[in-house]
């Protein structure tokens, strides 16, 4: 019985992998963008999001590349150890609580949400990320660096932590008062939950 179950699960995983790798993000991109537009974009101008990013931008404005590398190394070590002061600080931030609430309201389609500042550093998150500095990744470079209204949908990949096939959609967050980019958001979407 276990052998049959294992074979069925393996076959399903291979089929889904084939779908994900042959289709890339293009197959799911319209659904992902529609979910973003209807369920996430409307609250990106909420003062809870905007003020948290603006406050962190002031706090991190003078950080050097070496400072950022040090913080990222600290974060990675804490993530590997299962937690620590830097991770605790971000996870206990009011923006993180806000993102956890939004993730819960949306349901199983969203696997994670995190917001980045003008340097690509984590401001708030629903779940712990593997690194603190996202500024060297496409999710930040193709949104914040690209300007207001930029949206980037990444390829579909199997995520070990959630055990699901997911794609990430990222978007620039702007200050509603000025229209200027202040940060970015990334949302993990479980493509198996898209209808």
pTM of the model: 0.85
State what percent of residues in the chain have pLDDT above 90.
Answer: 79
Report if residue 171 sits inside a domain.
yes
Residues 85-123 pLDDT 10s: 999 999 999 999 999 999 999 888 999 999 999 999 999
In a domain, 62, yes or no: yes
Q: Can you list the positions of beta strands (E) in 65-180?
A: 110-116, 122-125, 151-153, 157-159, 164-174
pLDDT at 65: 96
Minimum mean pLDDT among 1-5, 32-36, 86-90: which range? 1-5
Q: Residue 191: which of 19, 41, 43 has the closest Cα?
A: 19
- What does the pLDDT read at residue 195? 66
Pick 8 or 93 by higher pLDDT: 93
Domain that holds residue 85: 25-193
Matching residue, tokens 């958001």: 185
Q: Is residue 5 part of a domain?
A: no
117-145 per-position pLDDT tens digit: 999 999 999 999 999 999 999 999 999 99
**pLDDT at position 194:** 84
Residues making up the chain, counted from first to last: 195
Task: Compute the average pLDDT of residues 63-79.
Answer: 97
Angstrom CA distances, 79 to 74, 83, 117, stand at 9, 5, 20
Give the count of domains, the chain.
1
Residue 7 lies in a domain: no
Task: List, in order, residues 6 or more apart from 151 with CB less than 8 Å away.
Answer: 33, 36, 143, 169, 170, 171, 172
22 pLDDT band, cuts 50/70/90, is very low
Does residue 177 belong to any structural domain of this protein? yes
**pLDDT classification of 17: cutoffs 50, 70, 90:** very low
Which residues, 6+ apart, have CB-to-CB distance to 143 below 8 Å?
150, 151, 152, 170, 171, 172, 184
Helix (H) / strand (E) element for 15: namely helix 2-23
Q: For residue 149, what is the DSSP state?
A: T
Distance of alpha carbon 151 from alpha carbon 173, whole angstroms: 10
Helices (H) then strands (E): counts for the chain: 7, 6
* Predicted pLDDT at 26: 55
Residue 25 phi, psi (nearest 5): -75, -20
pLDDT (tens digit, 9 = 90+) per residue, 137-190?
999 999 999 999 999 999 999 887 677 889 999 999 999 999 999 999 999 999
CATH code: domain of residue 182: 3.30.450.20
Note whether residue 184 is domain-resident.
Answer: yes
User: Torsion-angle region of residue 171: left (phi > 0), alpha (psi -120 to 50) or beta?
Assistant: beta
Question: Rounded to whole angstroms, how far apart are CA atoms 120 and 68?
Answer: 10
Secondary structure class of 84 (helix, strand, coil) = coil
């Amino acid at each position: 019985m276990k052998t049959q179950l294992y074979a069925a699960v393996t076959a399903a995983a291979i089929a889904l992998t084939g779908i994900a790798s042959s289709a890339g993000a293009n197959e799911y991109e319209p659904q992902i963008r529609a979910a973003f537009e209807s369920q996430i974009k409307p609250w990106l101008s909420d003062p809870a999001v905007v003020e948290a990013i603006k406050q962190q931008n002031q706090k991190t404005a003078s950080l050097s590349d070496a400072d950022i590398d040090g913080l990222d190394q600290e974060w990675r070590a804490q993530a590997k150890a299962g937690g620590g002061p830097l991770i605790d600080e971000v996870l206990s931030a009011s923006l993180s609580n806000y993102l956890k609430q939004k993730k819960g309201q949306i349901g199983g389609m969203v696997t994670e949400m995190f917001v980045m500042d003008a340097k690509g550093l984590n401001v708030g998150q629903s779940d712990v990320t593997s690194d603190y500095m996202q500024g060297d990744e496409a999710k930040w470079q193709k949104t914040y660096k690209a300007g207001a209204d930029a949206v980037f949908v990444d390829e579909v990949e199997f995520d070990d932590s959630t055990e699901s096939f997911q794609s990430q959609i990222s978007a620039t967050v702007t200050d509603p008062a000025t229209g200027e980019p202040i940060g970015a958001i990334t949302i993990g979407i479980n493509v198996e939950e898209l209808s």
